[in-house]
Chains A and B, each alone.
Chain A
Amino acid sequence: MARASGYYKTGYAQQIALLETRTQKAWLATLALLLVLLPLVAGGFVIDLANQVFLAVIGSVALMLLTGVAGQVSLGHAGLLAAGALTVGVLTRETGAPFWITLPASAIMGAALGIVFGLPSLRLKGLYLGISTLALHFVVTFLGHEYESRRGFSSGVTIDPPRVFGIEIYRPGTWYAVLLAAAVLVVIFALNLLRTRTGRAWRAIHDRDVVAEALGVPVYRAKLSAFVVSSTLTAFAGGLFAYYRGFVATEAFSMFLTIQYVAMVIIGGLGSILGAILGAVFVTLLPYAIEAVVRLVGLEGALSGYVFAINYACFGIAMIFFLAVEPEGLAGIWRRVRDYFLLWPFRATPLARGR
């Protein structure tokens, strides 16, 4: 972060602090205030959008930890979300367990699957690792389909809304509070994790795991821990997803969902939690933005049959754009804009971006 001179760090606590200046703290307080006030002023639809964004943030942060920070390619994200959602669905249907059993159960299932998905990473890297996670995704979804067919839940499992202390969590406003809290907790958890030894180990194995091994970082353990932590969070997100939608169907967890999360991570900018959040916001809101543009332009009736195709195409274009033109993603753009204002009237000449 660009800074004028005069900001010295004199202790370890300052070094790892999340917020450094008073301005930063003020902005964060403003954001917090806005988020709290939003449900009071916005309509049901906007709150629903916000809820979707929060859910996406949890999944996106999980994938960012795995792919952006630890550098382990994973294309099985939808499979893990499905596992979490199915655990909730199966337990609710078969045993009628309440949410404070099913959600931890789905997290545990995620951890277990994380070990399974992570084992190939001990032998494979890059593309092949991605492919093995992809294959595991297909196996998980196949098992889900078989369960649904054999147990007769032909079009999926319906789940009643959870009750906490007698309050039924169903209306968008209530969900907003729950999901905002969950998203904030996950983001803080991730930020803290990255400041600790585990996070640093992950960054080390991202860059050069051979060197990391030479420096004493336990590479196997770091890789598996990355997979396990990421999968736990993902499965937890899947479980929340199940409760939010009130419904679990394996068909909802397709390859395209994985691609959406990978896009969030890429568009946001690999390596930072801010990137995960920005990417999640962008990808979740893109279809609605397109719909709004189509409506504003007045072509709603004529294009109604094609809107999804347009969504698809725009999504592809957005991904291509960020991959080709802006590899550092939205976080990179954000940083450049912020530095421009911070340094004005001086200008920072960016170093040649090497690879």
Chain B
Amino acid sequence: MRRIVASLAVVGALACAPPAGAQDLVVGVSALMTGPSAGTYAPVVEAMRLYFDNVNKAGGINGKQVKLLISDNQADASKAAADAKKFLLQDNALLLLNISLSSTYAPMVAEAKRAETPLLFAGSVCPREVYPKADAFLYCTTAFAAQYDSRFALDFIRKTAKEPVKLGLAAMAIPISRAEIDFAEQQLPSLGFTAAGKEVIPPPTANYTPHATKLKEADANWVYSWAPWGMQVKTLEALRTLGWQGSYIAYAHLNAEDELVRLKDDKLFVFGTNAFFQDDLPIHQAIKARATGASYPVTQLGEGWVAAMALEAILKQAGANPTRASVSKAMNALKVDMQGLRGAPIAWTDDNHFRTSVAYRVYRWDSAQGKVIRVTDWTTFDVK
């Protein structure tokens, strides 16, 4: 019994160890850093860390240092809830960030709303609550977004296909991917496509060939996939092994640029809202310069950079002595130019916490030129 009390006391004392200084701008980040699919989220955190290390070296924002408290929630909802509670109760965070799978959303959303603190989804898929009419306190800078992505992709197929489209669909057996592919399926009749198989693949699959077999047997000539990158690319590789010659369109996750070079597949189209590093714009050069010592390839840091730029703008606009309320106010009127990283600025209003317009590009590998080429330039949609 003594030991219980003693150990509780010791840990309690340790846990109360140095909190953030009064001169710090505290931001709580709960992210998926380790485990399957971490490859989509960990580079975002890395990019943000590098960005703010540089900001802090240059003197911080309004004279205050930015303190990013990063916690690995391993896509576990309970851990995300515990992180949120800790950031809100103990660390007095100004706002929270979620960079993880959708399984961690609900508890963080509940905690953020209770504490009336803004919650920013940076790199994790935008929940429907940020679209107009947006919930208070929920914001999103992430590139990929439900429904708009599919609308664009299907429209692209319609414009590009040279013969009647028999569309196969591939989703991962996680709710967000399934919901999106179901949405895509519903759009097929109005576009005049024929449905040719829909595969919902459970995550830890030893072999994608049986699933690919079904898509091939359904005689699809186009396949659309919206899921974590690993699943998208493994399905494609399995299809190609079977000798399938059709066209495949998938969402361009962080590692798409490098993967296009690795796969060298002429008929793999990737679409996304982030510009590839091969454009070598000034902003890309800046990222390369500052990304020394990163544990992830530079080409994967774009998404995190976008989020970091938005966050910096938010903290700047929140005033000299920011509070959660002033941060909220700043976020409701945010407009940040992405300097070419994205085709449209991050612009939020009271009603729209997603962005007022979203722009997509499509890339693919071209063997004739031996490099990745851009198939279509920024195609902009207004978000209503």
Contact = CB atoms under 8 A, between A and B. Distances in A.
Interface of A: 27-28, 31, 34, 38, 42-46, 48-50, 52-53, 148-149, 154-156, 158, 170, 172, 245-247, 249, 251-252, 254, 277-278, 281-282, 285, 288-289, 292-293, 295-296, 301, 304-309, 312, 330, 334
B12 A252 contact: no
A305 B18 contact: no
A305 B296 CA distance: 12
A254 B77 CA distance: 11
Contact of B17 (A295, A304, A312): A295
B295 A305 contact: yes
B89 A43 contact: yes
Nearest to A148: B175
Q: Which 7 A-B pairs have the closest CB atoms?
A: A154-B175, A292-B14, A308-B72, A44-B89, A45-B90, A304-B70, A249-B77
Name A's interface SS.
helix
A202 B365 CA distance: 67
B75 interface: yes
Given A31-B4, A288-B11, A296-B14, A305 B33 contact: yes
Contacts, number: 130
A279 B143 CA distance: 44
Interface centre among A38, A49, A158, A245 (most CB of B within 10 A): A245
B284 to A, nearest CB: 23
B107 A247 contact: yes
Given A43-B90, A305-B295, A155 B106 contact: yes
Contacts of B173: 149
A251 B77 contact: yes
A213 B54 CA distance: 73
A301 B7 CA distance: 26
Nearest to A27: B1
A305 B12 contact: no
Given A44-B89, A155-B106, A305-B33, A245 B81 contact: yes
Contacts of B70: 304-305
Name B's interface SS.
helix
Contacts of A27: 1-2
B103 interface: yes
Interface string B1-32: 11111011001101111100000000000000
A73 to B, nearest CB: 25
A238 to B, nearest CB: 12
B105 interface: yes
B103 A156 contact: yes
Nearest to B114: A170
Contacts of A312: 34
Contacts of A305: 33-34, 42, 45-46, 70, 72, 295
B102 interface: yes
Interface in B55-79: 70-72, 74-78
A318 B325 CA distance: 44
A177 B86 CA distance: 20
B11 A292 contact: yes
Contacts of B114: 170
Contacts of B12: 42, 46, 49
A254 B110 CA distance: 23
16 contacts: A34-B5, A38-B8, A44-B89, A45-B86, A45-B89, A48-B85, A49-B15, A245-B107, A247-B81, A249-B103, A249-B106, A252-B78, A254-B76, A292-B17, A293-B14, A308-B72
Contacts of A247: 77, 81, 106-107, 110
